Amino acid sequence: MSALFNFQSLLLVLLLVICTSTYAHATFPKIMDRNREGVFGIFWKCARVGERLSPYVSICCVIMAMSLMASS
């Protein structure tokens, strides 16, 4: 089943994109800041969400991990 049709998988993919973009922005800030518009601007925006809402993102990651462990 595709992640587009399963809501839990869609949330998991979204959290992974936010966390990965935040890490990439911390590692390579010039590359991420250069691509603010266009398709790669999505990753810049996800990095901003990860930086500014990091406590909420981390809580969501913990909750998602616990729900995945419970469903296994």
Q: How many structural domains is the chain composed of?
A: 1
Please determine, for residue 58, whether its predicted confidence score (pLDDT) is greater than 70: yes
Residue 66 lies in a domain: yes
pLDDT of residue 2: 61
pLDDT of residue 72: 67
pTM: 0.81
Please determine, for residue 8, whether its predicted confidence score (pLDDT) is greater than 70: yes
- The contacts of residue 35 (CB under 8 Å, 6+ apart) are 41, 43, 44
Domain holding 33, by residue range, is 11-71
Orientation angle between helical segments 41-52 and 7-27, nearest 10 degrees? 90
pLDDT tens track for 28-50: 889 888 888 888 899 999 999 99
Residue 52 lies in a domain: yes
Average pLDDT score over the chain: 87
